[in-house]
Copies of this chain bind each other. A is one copy, B any other.
Amino acid sequence: MDPRKKLILKAIVDEYIQNAEPVGSKALAERYNIGFSSATLRSEMAFLEEQGYLEQPHTSAGRVPTSLGYRLYVDDLMHRHRITLEEMETINNALRLKLQEYDRLMEETGRFIARMTRYAAITAPPQPDAVKFQKFELFLADPSSLVIVVVLEGGQVRNKLARLQKPADPADIRRLADALNACFAGQPSVTDTLCEKCALLAGSGAEYLPLAAEFMQEIIKSASTRDSYLSGETQLLNHPEFRDVMKARKTLEYLAEQRQSLMNIPAPPSPDSVRITIGPENVASELRDASVIMASFQMRGGQQGLIGLVGPTRMDYSRLASRLTYIAARLGALLQNDEEETS
């Protein structure tokens, strides 16, 4: 692949990203001073089209990048945008503020990203691959209301209040708590044998073991499904490619209902990079006309969170990627220092 061909392809993609209109040979020759006439460009463009990097919406229209074209652009051609100091400032300020309320951090970060980029933002908090129980505490809020508190390794805390049929004996509760700590601390699951052992230890407190066991199962289950937050979807409607309501509906519906599956996209190789998925490269057919940019960050302990953007294939990949990596990096740095959690 000729370096000149690459230069031309880059120019076409840049131009199209900016103006959202098919790029013709003449306009290209005028605006970018590549030093060749429109005729030369025409033959080069014909070649690029033949190779599948460009396409024409119809004869006698300019050219538009295909997803293959964008792919080459993203991998090879695009000028790696450097984030400005100003943008850094904005991001740092915003994140510092959000950090105040940790449990809504990812949600709020998503809103911020959406506002900043004018695309739909997806965020998912870091999640441990396997949770282990660390500590149990049981007490009575009133004689017939049992509160179960479970601390997980990593610092998450879950609780549940269960109404009892009849008042319980605090001594029984105490015994059950001790038994749970003895049997389940450090365990990643609730097995029958552990339950039996625990029942034995708990003596008459075993009456309440089923309640606790059920709750523990719930915790294991909920910890293995990943949360995710979506914001700024409606901003997609601002972009000309979504002026067709039906197309927009498909995409928005997918984001609202099925976005979980976006999380399955393998995370970017290194924390400083992004993973870009263009149009039909997305497994979901509803995203055939959309691109996804994903970045990840790490918490202490290696748990990995995700932030990402969804937009039409015509996106300013370079600028967006640089912003996203910076946000991810800052988020990672901030979370190294503060990992307190509440629920």
The 8 Å CB contact of A159, one of B233, B238, B342, is: B342
Number of interface residues of A (CB under 8 A): 38
- Stretch of A16-24, A202-210, A246-254 contacting B (4+ beta carbons < 8 Å): A246-254
Across-interface contacts of A253 in B (CB, < 8 A): 234
Across-interface contacts of A137 in B (CB, < 8 A): 137, 139, 147, 149
Closest beta carbon of chain B to A235's beta carbon, Å: 8
- Measured in the bound complex, the distance between the Cα atoms of B292 and A29 in whole Å is 55
What is the interface of chain A, defined by CB distance below 8 A to chain B?
134-135, 137, 139, 141-142, 145, 147, 149, 151, 155-163, 215, 231, 233-234, 237-238, 242-243, 245, 248-249, 252-253, 256, 339-343
Additional A-B contact list (9), CB under 8 Å, known A155-B163, A242-B245:
A134-B142, A135-B139, A135-B147, A137-B149, A139-B149, A141-B157, A147-B151, A237-B252, A343-B343
Can you give 24 A-B contacts (C-beta < 8 A)? A134-B142, A135-B147, A137-B137, A141-B155, A145-B155, A147-B149, A147-B157, A149-B149, A151-B161, A155-B163, A158-B343, A159-B159, A160-B340, A161-B341, A162-B340, A163-B339, A163-B340, A215-B342, A231-B256, A233-B252, A234-B249, A237-B245, A237-B248, A343-B343
